[in-house]
Structure 1
Amino acid sequence: MAVASSLVLLASACGGDEEAGGGATTGGALEGRGPITFATGKDTSGFLPAQVSAWNSQHPEEKVTVVELPESADGQRQQMVQASQNKQDSFSVLNLDVVWTAEFAANRWVEEIPRDSFPSLSAAIPATIKTAEYRGKLYAVPITSDGGMLYYRKDLLTKAGVQPPATWAEMATACQKVQALPEGKGMGCYAGQFEKYEGLTVNFSEAINGAGGVVVGEDGKPNVDTPEALAGLEFLVNAFKSGAIPKAAITYKEEEGRRAFQDGKLLFHRQWPYQYALASKTDGSSKVVGKFAVAPLPGLNGPGVSTLGGHNYAISAFAKNKASAADFIKFMASEERQSANLQASSQAPAWASLYDDTALQAKFPYLTPLKASIEKAQPRPAVVKYGDVTAAIQEAAYDALTEKKQPKQALTDLQTKLSSLITQ
């Protein structure tokens, strides 16, 4: 099998949805003006204060206070869910991961959004709008999108005489050749996000999709107990066993892997677009400035498939000053704000035309392939019980990666668990 040959090379190289809570809100007038709060994950870009300051300077009576939640997506969701379950008005605008929409809408934790008052929707990549909908209604507004990309050391691949890999086997060969160079001695081959949190769900899904499998089929039913899914999971498991993926990567979330890549410890790194700007900083924090580039994720027999990422802004059902919250979201969804955010943080915008802007393409060469990646990306399951579903995926993947379970058994158990969580 092709995956087996790629793993041998790696070893040698590196040593439908459900109803909940009675249904979502039916929507109503968004009323009330005054100060609001914005609940969001930790700002790793450092640019959010400038964005919020731009709003505050224009709206002194409707100032936004940023409430930074944990760096981990799971930690962010937990705090937002707790506040919502307790009907607290501490958060006005919620920065939701794209996979949380169904859960928050079905539980009546967020307000329905009036489509006709958000002109930015017509300019957004269609795939991003779908992530903001539940049962045909809009409950959030796309602000950033996201697609996984393969960051690689362009300087070392050039010196080794190899091209960016399109398959896992080609990536293994590239590792072998680079590590034979004096500059590549001791360098890790590949890493992604493998700690037991949402990033593991993403990386697991991409491995499955990259081998031709699916986590949930088009019919809305789980389908992970398949030869294709097994090939994808075995790629990751055997890469950990061989050292192709450094053992430390079992603790990697986005930031841990980013720092490893920027410190020159990794040849390849699966990461979101935001890393591009940080790895390009000339303040001494990155050792790979001018030495790296990006390519599509590799797969078993050709280019892989990214998991669709991104963030949408929603209005808490328990917030005061919802009219101000809606206007703040409209402000942040504008082309001007999304362009500014892209240029400062390299985060992928939802605004489609920005990907085709020649000036931005010159500054961010990955925009064209990133747009294609987002348009072809596979979403994670859009289900009400997403928290339980992602926890089950993380448990199964982590058990396999840490050799607690054989990959086949992990997938069989996961199929049973998902079947009980995802009902039609």
Structure 2
Amino acid sequence: MPRRLLSCTAVTAALTLVGGCGLGATNVESATDAGERGPISFVTSDTSGIVPTLIKRWNDKHPREKVTFIELPEDADQQRQMMIQNAQLKTDTYTVLNLDVVWTSEFAANRWIDELPADSFPFDKTLGPINDTAKYRGKWFAMPYASDGAMLYYRKDLLEKAGVEEPPKTWDEMREICDKVLGEQKSKMSCYGGQFEKYEGLTVNFSEAINSAGGQVTDAKGIPHLDTPEAERGMDKLVKSFKDGTIPKDGITFMEEQGRRAFEKGNLLFYRNWPYQYAISDKKAKNNEVAGKFGVAPIPGEKGPGASSLGGHNLALSSTARNKATALDFMRFMTNEESSRLKLEKASLAPVYTKLYDEPEYVRKFPYLPVLKKSISGAEPRPRVVQYGDATKAVQNAAYNALTGKQSSAAALRNLQRQLRELAP
């Protein structure tokens, strides 16, 4: 997918200047009584391609309060760092931030984002796990934009050809199916792929491996529990998969898009990814061999379906932004039911509204919705610590060391247990 240029000229360079894109800094700290109106910016990555459409709809109706699209890199860690840099420099370059759900507490605790009015969003209409990600210490700091739950994409055509009637529910079943389907074709197609490059996606996949083996990375209080047999079995599943070729060697470089393209080229039988991929992979295009040939299922676990990491994004308001009244209205527009329907229909982004998962018309049109609803409803949060940046970096280093053979699973988990314990409240 071609990357669009940043809409605000030289944004990265501009973050070294106090003035941002020609807008003065502001000391307004709360959005509850914000009255300023005027131009704002929307800061996000956009692998779905839906953001320009939504912004155009807003801009056509609000010519005096136009939104500038500032597109960030695909790498979640880079996105976070750029947003933090903007906050620390106290510029108003960034107005509305599209935050990974695990960043809300960190950004709120550091006062990089504003507390929002309690009636800013219809929280009574969204899936339960989603609402928790928009809060910090019982107060609302974000509006749910899109949810995310992991799904297992698989070559339905190849399974049917081999006489396999159902996708796997466990890791062992997946390996058996791969042996049956691939046979002597293992040199051309690998069994499984996920996100294993050293970035946020590795934290997600590591957490899913631990949780799906019956373990727990941290509890609700942020206390780590990685010194358990369950955690070691989960880590060993990934390590063994790299050693025996279940996951290809170049899988260590996979982020979401690299893996998606490998799946579409026919290089993977199974691929773990988010729902946004469904709409992309189902369209006929050059280098896409899987349109109309794949299905989705829950990710596999040790004894049954695994536990997804809770993904998704929330919209938050930069504490140093201007024109906050406009920003609040724009956030409501981007997160309302109509926009949520459009994001589902055009980009297969997981809705935050419960009712959309159960509408018969949508279930017929998007057959993955029942799987996705179960994935989100049973999803586990990633490490629950305010110092999330430090926690995810520690997780990534430990997991990467184990996957690349620099440390054993036991040693990597032992070091990670100590590091996360130091970050716990």
Q: Which residue does the alignment assign to 2:372?
A: 370
8 A Cα contact 2:211 2:306, kept in partner: yes
Q: Which residue does the alignment assign to 1:215?
A: 217
**Distance of 2:357 and 2:132 partners within structure 1:** 19
Of residues 294, 299, 318 in structure 2, which corresponds to 1:292?
Answer: 294
Of residues 43, 54, 58 in structure 2, which corresponds to 1:55?
Answer: 58
* TM-superposition CA deviations, 1:237-260 (whole Å, max 9, x none): 010011110000100000000000
State the shift of 1:383 in Å: 2.0
Question: Does residue 199 in structure 1 map to residue 201 in structure 2?
Answer: yes
Q: Cα gap change, 1:26/1:92 in structure 2, threshold over 3 Å: closer, same or farther?
A: closer
The alignment-based identity, stated in percent, is: 56
Amino acid at match of 1:386: Y
Q: Which residue does the alignment assign to 1:100?
A: 103
State the shift of 1:27 in Å: 6.0
Amino acid at match of 1:295: A
Give the match's secondary structure for 2:217.
coil
Question: Does residue 139 in structure 1 map to residue 134 in structure 2?
Answer: no
**Distance of 2:261 and 2:36 partners within structure 1:** 43
Of residues 408, 411, 420 in structure 2, which corresponds to 1:406?
Answer: 408
State the shift of 1:220 in Å: 2.9
8 A Cα contact 1:160 1:181, kept in partner: no
State the shift of 1:352 in Å: 1.2
* TM-superposition CA deviations, 1:154-204 (whole Å, max 9, x none): 00111111220000110000000011276x762100010000000000000
**Distance of 1:133 and 1:382 partners within structure 2:** 13
Amino acid at match of 2:84: V
Give the match's secondary structure for 2:34.
coil
Amino acid at match of 2:38: G
Of residues 36, 41, 46 in structure 2, which corresponds to 1:37?
Answer: 41
State the shift of 1:122 in Å: 2.1
**Distance of 1:258 and 1:337 partners within structure 2:** 25
Question: Does residue 116 in structure 1 map to residue 112 in structure 2?
Answer: no
8 A Cα contact 1:179 1:185, kept in partner: no
State the shift of 1:28 in Å: 3.6
Q: Which residue does the alignment assign to 2:78?
A: 75
Give the match's secondary structure for 2:218.
coil
**Distance of 2:277 and 2:287 partners within structure 1:** 12
Q: Which residue does the alignment assign to 1:236?
A: 238
State the shift of 1:39 in Å: 0.6
**Distance of 1:380 and 1:348 partners within structure 2:** 18
Give the match's secondary structure for 1:115.
coil
**Distance of 1:104 and 1:117 partners within structure 2:** 18
Q: Which residue does the alignment assign to 2:258?
A: 256
Give the match's secondary structure for 1:268.
strand
Q: Which residue does the alignment assign to 2:23?
A: none
8 A Cα contact 1:145 1:348, kept in partner: yes
Q: Which residue does the alignment assign to 1:395?
A: 397
For structure 1, the residue ranges without an aligned partner over 5 or more in a row are 1-24
Give the match's secondary structure for 1:180.
helix
Amino acid at match of 2:71: E
Amino acid at match of 2:33: A
Give the match's secondary structure for 2:224.
coil
Amino acid at match of 1:92: T
**Distance of 1:257 and 1:421 partners within structure 2:** 32
State the shift of 1:285 in Å: 4.3
* TM-superposition CA deviations, 1:8-47 (whole Å, max 9, x none): xxxxxxxxxxxxxxxxx77641221000001101x22222
**Distance of 1:254 and 1:51 partners within structure 2:** 23
8 A Cα contact 1:143 1:350, kept in partner: yes
TM-score by length of 1: 0.91
8 A Cα contact 2:59 2:65, kept in partner: yes
> Which runs of structure 2 are paired with 1:20-31 in the superposition (5 Å)?
28-31=32-35
Amino acid at match of 1:35: P
Give the match's secondary structure for 1:29.
coil
Question: Does residue 167 in structure 1 map to residue 170 in structure 2?
Answer: yes
8 A Cα contact 2:40 2:322, kept in partner: yes
**Distance of 1:27 and 1:64 partners within structure 2:** 18
**Distance of 1:46 and 1:126 partners within structure 2:** 27
The root-mean-square deviation of aligned C-alpha atoms, in Å, is 1.3
8 A Cα contact 2:215 2:230, kept in partner: yes
8 A Cα contact 2:31 2:324, kept in partner: no
Structure 1 runs of 4+ with >6 Å offset: none
**Distance of 2:163 and 2:310 partners within structure 1:** 32
**Distance of 1:176 and 1:45 partners within structure 2:** 34
- Of the structure 1 ranges 202-211 and 45-54, higher mean CA displacement relative to structure 2 is found in 45-54
State the shift of 1:421 in Å: 1.1
Of residues 264, 275, 278 in structure 1, which corresponds to 2:277?
Answer: 275
* TM-superposition CA deviations, 1:87-114 (whole Å, max 9, x none): 1100010000000001100111101111
Amino acid at match of 1:135: R
For structure 2, the residue ranges without an aligned partner over 5 or more in a row are 1-28
* TM-superposition CA deviations, 1:285-327 (whole Å, max 9, x none): 4210111000001101111000000000000000000000000
Q: Which residue does the alignment assign to 2:25?
A: none
Q: Which residue does the alignment assign to 2:329?
A: 327
**Distance of 2:362 and 2:64 partners within structure 1:** 34
